[in-house]
Structure 1
Amino acid sequence: MFKILNVLSIIIIMSVACSNNAGNGENNYPAPPSETSLIVNGSGQKSKGSEEYFTGNVEVEAIIPPNSSSHFSIAYVTFQPRARSAWHTHPAGQHLIVLEGIGLTQEEGKPIQEFRAGDVLYCPPNVKHWHGASPNSYMKHAAITGVSNGSGVTWMEKVTDEEYNDR
Structure 2
Amino acid sequence: MSGEPRISLRRPTEEDWQRIFELANAAVDHIAEAPLQNEWLGCRRAFNGIQSHFVAERDGEVVGYTAVERATEDPEATFRLFVVVSWNTSMDVTDLLFERAVDELERLGARHAWLREYASDQPLIAYFRSKGFDIREEYEHDGQLLVTLAKDLGGSDLAV
Q: Which entry has the higher C-alpha Rg, 1 or 2?
A: 1
Structure with greater proportional helix content: 2
TM-score normalized by structure 1? 0.30
Tell me which protein shows more strand as a share of its residues. 1
